[in-house]
Structure 1
Amino acid sequence: MNLPDPALVVLVGPAGAGKSTWAAGRYRDAEIVSSDALRARVGSGTADLDASDDAFAVLEAVVAARLRRGLTTVVDTLGLDAGRRAGWLAAGRAAGMPCVTVVFDTPADLCRARNRSRDRPVPARVLTAQVRRMPAVSAEVAGEGWDLVVREDGGPAGPPAGPAPATGRPAGGAPLFAGPSGLSFVLQVSRFPWGTEPSEWLRDVARAAEEAGFAGLALMDHLIQIPQVGQPFEAIPDPLVTLGMLAGATTTLHLGTLVSPVTFRPAGVLANAMATLDVLSGGRAFCGLGAGWWAREHAGFGLPFPAAGERVDLLEQAIPVLRALWAPGTRPLAGLPETTCYPRPVGALPIIVGGTGPRVLRIAATLGDACNVPAARLDEVGPQKRTTVLDVPVLGDDREHVARLVERLRGRTPATTYAARHHAGTAAEHTERYRGLAAAGVCTAFVAPAELTGPDDVARWAPVIAHSS
């Protein structure tokens, strides 16, 4: 079962029920507030009952502090006291957190066997009393108003469920646009921490993308690094030059921009460059096209920056020009006196229109081959030939790794806000989310990993791609 996250999670069950093992298999140590562990901190050990009052005082303070910050909090105690449960539930409600209780209906014999194996077993009569109280506790919990009541049988918890290892799926070769209910993945490279070997870094990242099963690789088309990604003094290479190099370093990746602004890529010049990329890559080019949005880069490079409506006009005019210059023959077309443009693309060269707003989406639907929108704005998209999304996720090996990545990347943004904004999670969690996008009609996910520093970060996506495609 997928539990809400972040959330307040209160465990309920007798000694030996498997609560601590269950929690350790699903949550980070920092998320679990355990009365036994706190007895060891403030007393002589986990079984030091004389330290219980002090341990619970610390426990309540830690629970309150984490809930105030909106952090997942797993309360690992017996949970049999209705008054304490009511207090935690009220605190969770006050913090606006989903409130979950996990009730362990563990067979009494299993609880006793586990208890006997402990260094300091709970006295048999005490454990018997706890087990006998469980039916009444279960009835109490059902009427307390928890958002979710989960029942567990107390079996040993393994690691969190996740995708099975890759099974020899051929690297690369996937279509740019997946068919119905499928999903293709394109790696969007937005930052370039390439050190002293730019070409080697780029080739390594591209080859890792092929091996991981990405269908393609896309680059932003900007003249200055955008503030959403990095600092203005960071490298932002020309995408068409860079993609030309990568055409010779890869064999299966579709290569293109997401997206090229019509404000500084005139349609005719872009048509020739994209056709050249398509020929050099053996028919693997695609063209992302947008109206342009960032005034600073235009001013900094001496380029005009028309009003929004004029920029959308340029976008609408550009697509017929691209099609005309890629079509056979040299006849007048799309307002051009001639369409002499060689080399021609190897085949149909897809145009993906990026942006939001009714008019841009209409242009995408009528003139483009697909529209691309931020994943968070998918619900704004009406009928389209194809829908693709730009996703900026954080992927970690496990919950601990995810938390470390969020802490490194978040800057001054609160950790929970950053994690939610970037869907920070494990491979299993991302797989489920991408399956949902495919079910919603998305055919391609342009993935711009927030944590991308090199090929190892690309390789981590292999199981997600294998089990979401």
Structure 2
Amino acid sequence: MERNLPSPCVVILVGPGAAGKSSWAAERFQADLIVSSDRLRALVGAGEDDLAASADAFRLLEEVVRQRVGRRLTTVIDTLGLDGERRRGWLALAKEHGLPCVAVAFDTPAAECRRRNRERVKRIPADVLTNQLKTWTAVKKELPQEGYDEILTPGAIRVVPEAFVGADLAARRQEEAPTGLKFGLQLSSYTHKGGRKTTGEWIRQLATRAEAAGFDSVYVMDHFRQIPQVGRAWDDFLESWTTLGYLAACTERVRIGTLVTGITYRNVAHLGKIAATLDVLSGGRAVCGLGLAWFEAEHKAYGWDFPSVSNRYAVLEDALQLLPALWGPGNKPFHGKVLDVPDTTCYPRPLQEPLPILVGGSGERTLKLAARYADAANVFGDATNVRQKAELLQQQAKVFDRPPITLTQLSTTLVGKDHQDVTEKVDRLRPRNQDPARYAASVNAGTIQDQIGRFRELAEAGAGEVMLSLPDLDDDLTPLDTFAEVISAFR
């Protein structure tokens, strides 16, 4: 079974010469992660076997390790690792910078080391190798006392984002005892190679492909210009509810909604009419997402007021009560804290009874409002955060004598068919000046099996639906087909 190590971390290889350390490291780690004493000897001397350059090579190695660990970069130290003082120094450096540190012990039989050495073009002198083997016998007894996070054998090891450290075991649980989970696709960008003339066709193909892949829902962000977390203000960006109307005509099964509508952007009664219309035209598939609205620059750009947080909360709480009144029978007036609607006539009424309301936001005050009035709440974060929010949400639902509220989770998700595919995608998509490991963590870059494990953990933490934004969706829609394999594991 493959062992996942958290990124970033420090990996110290320990063992005698010809034990297989360098070959093993080269097979499992990108070359940029490996700091090799042999390679540094070649850099400062006449070659890897220039023993006269050893002292300079090790001084350089210590500096490279110090710089890398100080920048919190995964560092694989490829030396004999038999010098206890050096090992303990690397371990202390890792702890100083808050990085996990593991030792990989190469307990290769002495006879095998000697056999491999005889087959080398440039052999380790026999007496030198004998001394290394004797030293290793003592070192392998010392390692457990030195304080590493783990001491591993040289098996299948990967360094992965923190979200995937337990993914293998979780994926196995999903295979042995499957659990259900709904999947939503969030459209967060409309930039594609074809340009705006083909945007309509591109969205149609994307939506039908997502439906075929098994997604349960398609969501759009409710903004009027691209947000800085995703792109530039002048990138093409479509109005949300108009886009949902188009999606309703392009699809047959998936639910469609906003993730989430900013409460300041529209007259709330008018929003209720828009959502009801979408529900009727989509055959009862609309989801009305609501949020506090946070993008102040967008408000200023469009000339809208940006009320205080407390005022926006007051509007949100009123909206959570007004919308169901609009969607219900009759035309009774609504008088809230800040909203006043004399006549709540809204026909045709939505087909869904009730039309589901999803509240976006992870704050305690937001979750309390969701527990009291909404059908679902959407949060960010890992399984630990989801579990905490789920517990709070359900506790509050009991306070208001309501049934359990669905918790949903949103994340950016980059999926590859295998580890090599993931690595290639990270290298292609990451900003030029960003560390690949940090980018991989920010987009949850992992294999199909990694993602199955991550989403199993989220389901176990209390998520009933996961929404994801795929950062590699442009004119190539194959990421949807790849993700279909993740979805199928939960069906």
When normalised by structure 1's length, the TM-score is 0.82
Residue 229 of structure 2 corresponds to: 228
Using the aligned pairs only, state the percent identity.
42
Residue 143 of structure 1 corresponds to: 145
Residue 383 of structure 1 corresponds to: 393
Matched, 1:368 2:374: yes
Would the aligned equivalents of 1:225 and 1:233 in 2 still touch at CA under 8 Å? yes
* Partner Cα distance (1:298, 1:265) in 2: 12
Q: Deviation at 1:105?
A: 2.3
Residue 357 of structure 1 corresponds to: 363
Instruction: List gaps (5 residues or longer) in structure 2.
Output: 172-177, 336-341, 395-404
Deviations 1:75-131 (A, max 9, x none): 011211223213322333343322221112233444445444444343455444433
Residue 404 of structure 1 corresponds to: 427
Residue 315 of structure 2 corresponds to: 314
Instruction: Find 1:448's aligned residue among 469, 474, 477.
Output: 469
Equivalent positions of 1:236-255 (< 5 A) are 236-255=237-256
* Partner Cα distance (2:359, 2:264) in 1: 14
Q: Deviation at 1:245?
A: 1.7
* Partner Cα distance (2:474, 2:284) in 1: 29
User: Structure 1 pair 105/287, CA: closer, same or farther in 2 (3 Å)?
Assistant: same
Residue 79 of structure 2 corresponds to: 77
Deviations 1:176-228 (A, max 9, x none): xxxx9643222222222132421133233334433444322211111232233
* Partner Cα distance (1:211, 1:41) in 2: 54
Would the aligned equivalents of 2:290 and 2:359 in 1 still touch at CA under 8 Å? yes
Residue 174 of structure 2 corresponds to: none
Instruction: Find 2:184's aligned residue among 186, 207, 216.
Output: 186
Equivalent positions of 1:39-438 (< 5 A) are 39-43=41-45, 45-150=47-152, 152=153, 154=154, 182-194=180-192, 195-196=195-196, 197-327=198-328, 329-330=329-330, 332=332, 337=343, 339-342=345-348, 344-346=350-352, 348-375=354-381, 378=386, 379-380=388-389, 382-384=392-394, 385-395=405-415, 398=420, 400-401=423-424, 404=427, 407-408=430-431, 420-438=441-459
Q: Deviation at 1:343?
A: 5.6
Residue 16 of structure 1 corresponds to: 18
Deviations 1:25-44 (A, max 9, x none): 43211001122333444555
* Partner Cα distance (2:230, 2:347) in 1: 35
Structure 2 SS opposite 1:3: strand
* Partner Cα distance (2:214, 2:132) in 1: 52
Would the aligned equivalents of 2:181 and 2:465 in 1 still touch at CA under 8 Å? yes
Q: Deviation at 1:71?
A: 0.6
Structure 1 SS opposite 2:72: coil
User: Structure 1 pair 21/436, CA: closer, same or farther in 2 (3 Å)?
Assistant: farther
Would the aligned equivalents of 2:292 and 2:316 in 1 still touch at CA under 8 Å? yes
Structure 2 SS opposite 1:2: strand
* Partner Cα distance (2:118, 2:251) in 1: 60
Would the aligned equivalents of 2:334 and 2:344 in 1 still touch at CA under 8 Å? no
* Partner Cα distance (1:307, 1:90) in 2: 48
Instruction: List gaps (5 residues or longer) in structure 1.
Output: 167-179
Would the aligned equivalents of 2:7 and 2:159 in 1 still touch at CA under 8 Å? no
User: Structure 1 pair 423/157, CA: closer, same or farther in 2 (3 Å)?
Assistant: closer
Structure 2 SS opposite 1:404: helix
Deviations 1:120-156 (A, max 9, x none): 3434554444334333111121222223222x1x568
Which deviates more, 193-202 or 445-454? 445-454
Would the aligned equivalents of 2:15 and 2:136 in 1 still touch at CA under 8 Å? yes
User: Structure 1 pair 124/372, CA: closer, same or farther in 2 (3 Å)?
Assistant: same
Would the aligned equivalents of 2:284 and 2:350 in 1 still touch at CA under 8 Å? no
Amino acid at match of 1:461: F
User: Structure 1 pair 78/252, CA: closer, same or farther in 2 (3 Å)?
Assistant: farther
Q: Deviation at 1:459?
A: 4.4
When the two structures are aligned, how many residues end up with a matched partner? 450
Structure 2 SS opposite 1:74: strand
Would the aligned equivalents of 1:21 and 1:156 in 2 still touch at CA under 8 Å? no
* Partner Cα distance (1:112, 1:183) in 2: 54
RMSD (CA atoms) = 3.5
When normalised by structure 2's length, the TM-score is 0.79
Structure 2 SS opposite 1:375: coil
Residue 175 of structure 1 corresponds to: none
Would the aligned equivalents of 1:289 and 1:354 in 2 still touch at CA under 8 Å? yes
Would the aligned equivalents of 1:319 and 1:368 in 2 still touch at CA under 8 Å? yes
* Partner Cα distance (2:278, 2:8) in 1: 45
User: Structure 1 pair 459/47, CA: closer, same or farther in 2 (3 Å)?
Assistant: farther
Amino acid at match of 2:464: C
User: Structure 1 pair 265/419, CA: closer, same or farther in 2 (3 Å)?
Assistant: same
* Partner Cα distance (2:227, 2:354) in 1: 31
Would the aligned equivalents of 1:406 and 1:419 in 2 still touch at CA under 8 Å? no
Amino acid at match of 1:332: K
* Partner Cα distance (1:235, 1:461) in 2: 25
Would the aligned equivalents of 1:392 and 1:450 in 2 still touch at CA under 8 Å? yes
